[in-house]
Structure 1
Amino acid sequence: MKLGDGVEQAIHSVLVLSGLAADGVLAAAALAEYHGVSTSYLLKHLQALAGAGILQSVPGPKGGYRLARPADKISLLDIVLAVEGAAPAFRCAEIRQRGPFPLAPEFSKAPCAVNAAMLKAEQAYRAELRKVSLADLETDKATPLGAAINQRSCAFLDRHERRQPHPN
């Protein structure tokens, strides 16, 4: 299974947004700059995340994006489904019905073993993504990598974070 680049961009963008102050927002262009990606491509995913209730979009020239709910209430599955959609990765086209010796239609009323196995694997994959919250992905600032990530994001947020009051 191959997830689109938008999934990685969305997860990392939501992680950056989790570091904002309660009244902070970050413009899509700033997030795109931070990750070195296309603003228009990232914006499409940010809008999908807002539509899914993961992000809040704050309009206006000083607007941007922030988390719509706490980081511990956002799972990796929430983000993947917002970006990729809820349809299963494997879609049975019932090819047993094609070719020179197709199976009779009555044999295609129930899923074949291939479809059943693929759906079972997808359920396991989704269950694992559901277990991991955004808060679980926060880096340990005591490690060299965690300290470097924290230093980079703090410096960036200091320059680009905008203040917008949260609606009551």
Structure 2
Amino acid sequence: MRMSEGVEWALHTCLNLTWLPGDQAVPTAKLAAFYALPAAYLNKQMQALARAGIVSSTPGPRGGFRLARSPEQITVLDIVVAIEGPDEAFRCVQLLKQGPGADPAVDYRQACLISQAMHRADMAWRRELAAQTLAGLKADVEQQYPAAPGNTSSALRA
């Protein structure tokens, strides 16, 4: 499975927002400059996160984005789904209906063992992402890279 680079950008950007006061909105240009990303493309990701209720947007000259919920309430799956959409990675097109002896009345999405295996794998992947919160990632980063919060906060406030 391959996800768009927007997922990585959104995850890092949301993590960076955890180190700022909750009332501080950061413009897309500043968020994008942090990693030398194209602001217009990052803005599309931020708008998707806003539609999903992960970040909130404040218009105007002092506007920008901030987290809309606490990091404990935002999972990695929330961010992935906001960027990539809710669809499963594997889409059964019922190929078995094309094969010899196929029964047109059968829903092969339910009967196909390959489809079932792919669905179980997708559900395991989603459970793992849903179990990881932004707060958990933040704690892991702070433990492994103690300078990250201060560096990030300084760069985004400047």
TM-score (structure 1 length as normaliser):
0.85
Shift of 1:102: 6.6
Q: Which residue of 2 aligns with 1:57?
A: 57
Task: Give yes or no for contact 1:16–1:153 (8 Å, CA) kept in 2.
Answer: yes
Structure 1 unaligned runs (5+)?
160-168
Shift of 1:21: 1.1
Task: Give yes or no for contact 2:28–2:43 (8 Å, CA) kept in 1.
Answer: yes
CA distance in structure 2 between the partners assigned to 1:47 and 1:91 by the alignment: 27
Equivalence map 1:140-151=2 (5 Å):
141=142, 143=144, 146-151=145-150
Structure 1 window deviating more from structure 2 (111-120 vs 131-140): it is 131-140
Report the CA distance shift for 1:19/1:150 in structure 2 as closer, same or farther (over 3 A). Answer: closer
Structure 2 unaligned runs (5+)?
none
Q: Which residue of 1 aligns with 2:128?
A: 128
Identical counterparts, % of pairs: 38
CA distance in structure 1 between the partners assigned to 2:83 and 2:141 by the alignment: 27
CA distance in structure 2 between the partners assigned to 1:59 and 1:7 by the alignment: 24
Query: Which secondary structure does the structure 2 equivalent of 1:65 belong to?
Result: strand
Number of residue-to-residue matches in the alignment = 156
Q: Which residue of 2 aligns with 1:19?
A: 19
Query: Which secondary structure does the structure 1 equivalent of 2:111 belong to?
Result: coil
CA distance in structure 2 between the partners assigned to 1:65 and 1:158 by the alignment: 13
Superposed CA RMSD:
1.7
Q: Deviations over 1:33-64 (max 9, x none)?
A: 11221111111110010001100000112100
